């Protein structure tokens, strides 16, 4: 294998008679931020879900730190999601009657060797807001809680699917800035699916999917 933390080799995904993508290959180096873009229906979210162990591939291989994730059984994949991967979605999916701290603490109960929830919330800039409920937080702050939740297991790779797609321009820029801070300050490896061209210009690597392949 290579110096990559995450590597995709000849990945193909078919859904019925439709081929979402065929023979995709790329590698992600540790401590980098990679942006994946492409038209609607290009398979970006499916690719991210395969990397996160939440969807199936038709053929090809996926490696994380030289372990072949694509060969894992169901139990191994569940362990992989708990231990190695953090996932951030467009919608925050917070529990409204729990504080920011309690939302993150709840996630810590299903992972091994979790980080202290107050520390992670401080890392995402919510040290003074962790006792607030979601309704008392802005959209950007709620997304920060969701990011903290994804970081609770100190993941090898953080995967984000349109994480700023539900935010206004100010909060979008703040969330993007946070991702780069996590890369620079914590050495976090991050793969983001987004249409945002400003983020693309700042990413360490840009991957564009079109017609089932990488441009």
Q: Which of 11-15, 54-58, 87-91, 132-136 has the highest mean pLDDT?
A: 132-136
The arrangement of strands across the sheet holding 67-68 comes to: 18-28, 6-15, 59-64, 67-68
84 or 211: which carries more pLDDT confidence?
84
Give pLDDT, residue 2: 57
**How does the average pLDDT of the chain come out, rounded?**
92
Which pTM does this prediction carry? Answer: 0.93
User: Any idea what DSSP says for residue 3?
Assistant: S
Segment 166-187, tens digit of pLDDT:
889 899 899 999 999 999 999 9
Give pLDDT, residue 1: 43
Out of 19-23, 135-139, 196-200, least confident range:
196-200
Segment 132-158, tens digit of pLDDT:
999 999 999 999 999 999 999 999 999
The helix/strand/coil state of 141 is helix
Distance from the Cα of residue 145 to its chain's centroid: 14
* β 157-161/59-64 pair status: unpaired
63 or 212: which carries more pLDDT confidence?
63
Q: How far is CA 146 from CA 2, 56, 109, 158, 193, in A?
A: 32, 25, 15, 12, 16
Name 21's bridge partners. Answer: 13
Q: How far is CA 172 from CA 12, 96, 109, 122, 182, in A?
A: 32, 22, 29, 19, 16
Helix, strand, coil percentages, rounded to 5, for the chain: 35, 25, 40
User: Residue ranges of the alpha helices (H) in the chain?
Assistant: 44-51, 74-83, 100-108, 117-123, 139-151, 169-186, 197-202
């Amino acid at each position: 294998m290579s110096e990559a933390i995450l590597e995709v080799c000849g990945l193909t995904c078919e859904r019925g008679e439709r081929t979402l993508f065929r023979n995709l290959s790329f590698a992600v180096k540790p401590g980098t931020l990679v942006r994946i873009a492409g038209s609607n229906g290009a398979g970006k979210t499916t690719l991210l879900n395969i990397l996160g162990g939440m969807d199936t591939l038709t053929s090809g291989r996926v490696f994380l730190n030289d372990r072949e994730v694509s060969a894992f059984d169901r139990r191994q994949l569940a362990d992989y999601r708990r231990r190695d991967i953090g996932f951030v979605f467009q919608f925050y999916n917070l529990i409204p009657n729990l504080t920011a701290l309690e939302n993150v603490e709840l996630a810590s109960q299903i992972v091994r060797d979790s980080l202290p929830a107050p520390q992670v919330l401080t890392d995402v800039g919510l040290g003074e807001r962790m006792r607030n409920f979601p309704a008392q937080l802005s959209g950007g702050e709620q997304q920060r809680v969701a990011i903290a939740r994804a970081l609770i297991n100190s993941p090898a790779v953080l995967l984000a699917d349109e994480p700023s797609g539900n935010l206004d321009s100010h909060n979008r820029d703040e969330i993007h800035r946070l991702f780069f801070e996590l890369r620079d300050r914590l050495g976090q490896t991050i793969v983001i699916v987004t249409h945002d061209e400003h983020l693309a210009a700042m990413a360490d690597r840009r991957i564009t999917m079109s017609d089932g392949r990488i441009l």
